[in-house]
Amino acid sequence: MNQGFHRAARWWPLIACVLLAGCSKGPQPGEVQDEAKLAGRDAASFPHAGEDYFHDMDNAIALSPEEIKGRNMWLVWSGGNDRFWTRMSDYTFGAFDLLKVISSHPSLGYSRANRWQYFGLVNEPCFNNAAGPDKARRGLWLDVRSKDCAPDPFENESKYPGVAIGSRGKPLGDGTTQPVGSFYGWGTGIAGLRLFPNPDFDEKAAKAWDAEKYYTDPSYYNRKDLVRPYRVGMSCGFCHVGPSPVKPPADPNNPKFENLSSSVGAQYMWVDRLFIYNANKPEGRTNYMYQLAHTYRPGAMDTSLVSTDGINNPRTMNAVYDFASRLEMARRIGREKLAGGELDNKQFNDFIASGPLTEFFSKADSMVYTPHVLKDGADSVGLLGALNRVYLNIGLFSEEWLLHFNPVVGGKTITPIKIASAQKNSSYWQATEAGTPNTALFFLKAAQPDHLKDAPGGDKYLGADAATLERGKLAFADTCARCHSSKAPPLPASLELSPQRCAGPGYVDCFKRYWGWTQTEDYKVQMRKIVQAPNFLQNNYLSTEARIPVTLLRTNACSPLATNALAGNIWDNFSSQTYKSLPSVGTVTLADPFTGAPKPYEMPAGGRGYTRVPSLISVWSTAPFLLNNTVGEANGDPSVDGRMKVFDQAIEQMLWPEKRKADALLGAKVGGTIDRTTERSVVTIPTGYAPEALQPLQGALHRWLPWLVQKDGDIVLGPIPGGVPVNLLSNLKLRAESDDLGDKAQHVKDAGALLVKLKLALASAPAGASDEELRQHFANLAEPMLELSKCRDFVVNRGHYFGTAEFNRQEGLSADEKAFGREPELSDEDKRALVSFLKTF
């Protein structure tokens, strides 16, 4: 066997090259056009819809014509990304299939009737469950529009004509014609997902199409050459529409528009089930991709999953509240320097000539005053740039975007997508840039706080007496307000905390001076008066929007280690010079995932190492907590009672961290829980999805590499035992971080050697080996695997210990973590009073 593996090792460069598409040459960045541009469409041919179709949403707030267009764009505009989401089936080897997600075929085990419980997806009103195959939709089991509702105005292909490319508008040889459709697509019955005719579905594809086999026959639906009749596009609303906290639906499977909010976030979405369409079946759960996605708790996902940075990093889909107060905070501390391609971002000044919105950008010195949108504070080029980047991240101009990285698997040197290329070559991008100012105006008007006092039955949770609330206000002022209030005492001049001094390289030193001041009695006396004022919560964003060093937070370090916005990386044009020049926060203490022993890790500079402060607006409705929803347990119930049950549990774990979930294998040794594989799994690439360069060789590869290529041609990597830390594999560096040729060569050598050793170790396990025995093989390779890890922090629910004894338990911490000093501990009574006050937010 060993001799066979030594022979096999020679194949690794070829296998890696082909699997990661590193050997192919094709279209080059900056030289491709999107489908709309190729079809001769310009941005003006995509007018943003003005129908007030969603009038009852967002508490039926009255909107101007511009704000209506902004909401419509948020909820139904997908900008041609249906092309990308179809290709995602290839990148996940058939595991991800939105056309099946929107279906109700009996073999799937889910339908509109239980879509909320299973997926946590919002059923769009005005649809009924599929009763059977729809002849008008090629035999697919799709939601049917209710006859009691008026037509969807966005489906009007005369007013909003689709892009006539490929087979669209052409006969299919079976007596039918492929529609062109609307550029907004057709409604699917799921908020945020729209259906489009597939331009690749031609006469040959129509002849080969069999809807029943598509649902039931793996040998059919796993064919890489299978062409589906439709593509599914995604709007921003898919990840941001949710049940209104103050007008929750009586039945979450059947909401009315009045029960929905455009800005609360998809707090209940099960992303693992979404990305692995058959996760409810054994073959789905034993797919390692499911094990990876299963680390995404409801309402959280890794937004860098596609343009992967090699770090498993699920983060919550945030509620969007109080843009006006947030922008005011940006005016005070959000000063960011732009240069190069960063200056290609549109600013409010490009669309309006006067008024307060023009004050957030200074062309003279290339300064923008901006909120920090992403969890790591990387979005720092202006509000419009942050909105526009989202569209790229969900697949707009995928013709260009996908040339800059290897989707999902990584392993290729990532290069920046240039805004200038999109402005030149993508009509969809140009139309998006033209529309996002209206979306910003919509949020400025509509993204208002949802108060518990305004929710049905909310009063019963607000019974604290005046003395308790006053005690809670004092606890908040002393412990929380320095991060979670946009109202604060004036900064003493002696601290020298001017934006000019503190931006970029000087940030950590300035932050430490600020933190030291907040520990003084002078600060606390002033802050208590501010918190006790009757209008404290009015126009308060309940966040400073500041970037907080992870050495202070001690939360999981994977989000602060994200690399996508660094200089030269995919989002280079969407992060500022100020962000890119941030210094290292120092050394953090991490736990060994096999022994629990503390290990130091020096955080890199250049933007990494920070988490921006989330807002506490409507915090009663947004539990579980922390940036990955790991503190507290989601229950899928959007009612007021359901939300409060989760809030009570989550806030108790936040303030009494000893009550948080402990690790299944190491217990209290690691101070939290590690996401581990739930059962034995493998990485399977069905023969139909094998790279074309390998397909002619699969017979030979099976003879040479039977441990890798099955007799039927499927490529299988595994077995991966249950109980293994998921991030041990998902965070492996597939490429060197350095540009030095010697470092790159050494990394390729080290990575190849590790993969061969890992497979050899697993293959040499005795037949019928238990998971515990297989895990030992992983433990034996722990050091080389950790050396190749981009994030070595495996404990997902640790940190944010303010006001608790855990903050002052400093044994084993680094000097940088200890530098923030000790903090007063809140008594149990103080904590309970603080919780009462938080419920009023």
Query: Strand 193-197 vs strand 144-145: parallel, antiparallel, or unpaired?
Result: unpaired
Place of tokens 């680094």: 814
Of the two residues 774 and 546, the one the predictor is more confident about is 546
Q: What is the pLDDT of residue 305?
A: 87
Residue 273 parent element (H or E): helix 271-275
Are residues 627 and 492 part of one domain?
yes
Convert the pLDDT of each residue in 411-425 to its tens digit. 778 999 999 999 999
Are residues 16 and 70 part of one domain?
no
Domain-embedded: residue 574: yes
Q: Rounded mean pLDDT of 492-502?
A: 93
Are residues 751 and 602 part of one domain?
no
For the beta sheet containing 367-369, the strands, ordered from the edge strand earlier in sequence to the opposite edge, are 335-337, 367-369, 361-362
Instruction: Let me know: does 727 contact 312? Beta carbons within 8 Å.
Output: yes
Instruction: Let me know: does 81 contact 88? Beta carbons within 8 Å.
Output: no
Convert the pLDDT of each residue in 277-324 to its tens digit. 888 888 778 888 889 999 999 999 998 989 989 899 999 998 999 999
Q: Rounded mean pLDDT of 129-133?
A: 96
Instruction: Let me know: does 154 contact 126? Beta carbons within 8 Å.
Output: no
Instruction: Let me know: does 230 contact 214? Beta carbons within 8 Å.
Output: no
Q: What is the pLDDT of residue 20?
A: 45
- What value does the CA radius of gyration of the chain take, rounded to a whole number of Å? 27
Total of domains in the chain: 3
Three-class secondary structure of residue 130 per DSSP: coil
The tokens for 555 are 């939360």
Pick the closest to residue 43 from 510, 624, 434 (CA basis).
434
Of the two residues 549 and 681, the one the predictor is more confident about is 549
Of the two residues 740 and 827, the one the predictor is more confident about is 827
Q: What is the pLDDT of residue 14?
A: 42
Q: What is the pLDDT of residue 276?
A: 87
Task: Report the distance separating Cα 707 and Cα 694, nearest Å.
Answer: 16
Q: Apex CA 243: angle with CA 241 and CA 244, to 5°? A: 105
Domain-embedded: residue 446: no
Pick the closest to residue 45 from 56, 53, 37 (CA basis).
37
User: Where is the domain boundary, 253, 269, 285?
Assistant: 269
Q: What is the pLDDT of residue 733?
A: 83
Are residues 680 and 660 part of one domain?
no
Q: What is the pLDDT of residue 288?
A: 84
Of the two residues 557 and 276, the one the predictor is more confident about is 557
Instruction: Let me know: does 636 contact 614? Beta carbons within 8 Å.
Output: no
Q: Count Cβ atoms below 10 Å from residue 120 Cβ, excluding itself.
A: 22
Domain-embedded: residue 694: yes
Are residues 209 and 187 part of one domain?
yes
Instruction: Let me know: does 409 contact 661? Beta carbons within 8 Å.
Output: no
The tokens for 408 are 């999902």
Convert the pLDDT of each residue in 632-670 to its tens digit. 999 999 999 999 999 999 999 999 999 999 999 999 999
Q: What is the pLDDT of residue 700?
A: 53
Are residues 169 and 81 part of one domain?
yes
Convert the pLDDT of each residue in 26-78 to its tens digit. 799 999 999 999 999 999 999 999 999 999 999 999 999 999 999 999 999 99
% pLDDT > 90, the chain: 78
Are residues 682 and 760 part of one domain?
yes
Structural domain boundaries enclosing 570: 452-671+812-838
Q: Rounded mean pLDDT of 143-155?
A: 96
Q: What is the pLDDT of residue 739?
A: 66
Task: Report the distance separating Cα 154 and Cα 520, nearest Å.
Answer: 57
Are residues 648 and 776 part of one domain?
no
Amino acid at 621: S
**Averaged confidence pLDDT in the chain:** 91
DSSP 8-state assignment for residue 588: E
Are residues 741 and 686 part of one domain?
yes
Are residues 74 and 196 part of one domain?
yes
Please, which pLDDT band fits residue 504 given cuts at 50, 70 and 90? very high
Residue 34 parent element (H or E): none
Q: How many CA atoms lie within 13 A of 711 on its CB side?
A: 0
Q: What is the pLDDT of residue 693?
A: 47
Note the residue count of the chain.
841
Please, which pLDDT band fits residue 541 given cuts at 50, 70 and 90? very high
Q: What is the pLDDT of residue 686?
A: 57
For residue 717, pLDDT beyond 60: yes
Convert the pLDDT of each residue in 784-836 to its tens digit. 888 889 999 999 999 999 999 999 998 899 999 999 999 999 999 999 999 99
Q: What is the pLDDT of residue 254?
A: 97
Task: Report the distance separating Cα 731 and Cα 794, nearest Å.
Answer: 10
Are residues 633 and 485 part of one domain?
yes
For residue 696, pLDDT beyond 80: no
Instruction: Let me know: does 835 contact 651? Beta carbons within 8 Å.
Output: yes
User: Where is the domain boundary, 217, 234, 269?
Assistant: 269
Domain-embedded: residue 572: yes
Convert the pLDDT of each residue in 75-118 to its tens digit. 999 999 999 999 998 788 778 999 999 999 999 999 999 999 99
Are residues 652 and 714 part of one domain?
no
Please, which pLDDT band fits residue 774 given cuts at 50, 70 and 90? confident
Task: Report the distance separating Cα 666 and Cα 593, nearest Å.
Answer: 8
Domain-embedded: residue 467: yes
Convert the pLDDT of each residue in 505-539 to its tens digit. 999 999 999 999 999 999 999 999 999 999 999 99
For residue 711, pLDDT beyond 70: no
Domain-embedded: residue 30: no
Domain-embedded: residue 198: yes
Q: Count Cβ atoms below 10 Å from residue 598 Cβ, excluding itself.
A: 16
Task: Report the distance separating Cα 114 and Cα 637, nearest Å.
Answer: 13
Q: What is the pLDDT of residue 615?
A: 97
Domain-embedded: residue 409: no
For residue 692, pLDDT beyond 60: no
- In angstroms, what CA-CA distances link 621 with 324, 367, 543, 625, 655? 21, 36, 17, 11, 17
Please, which pLDDT band fits residue 178 given cuts at 50, 70 and 90? very high
Q: What is the pLDDT of residue 3?
A: 41
Q: What is the pLDDT of residue 735?
A: 72
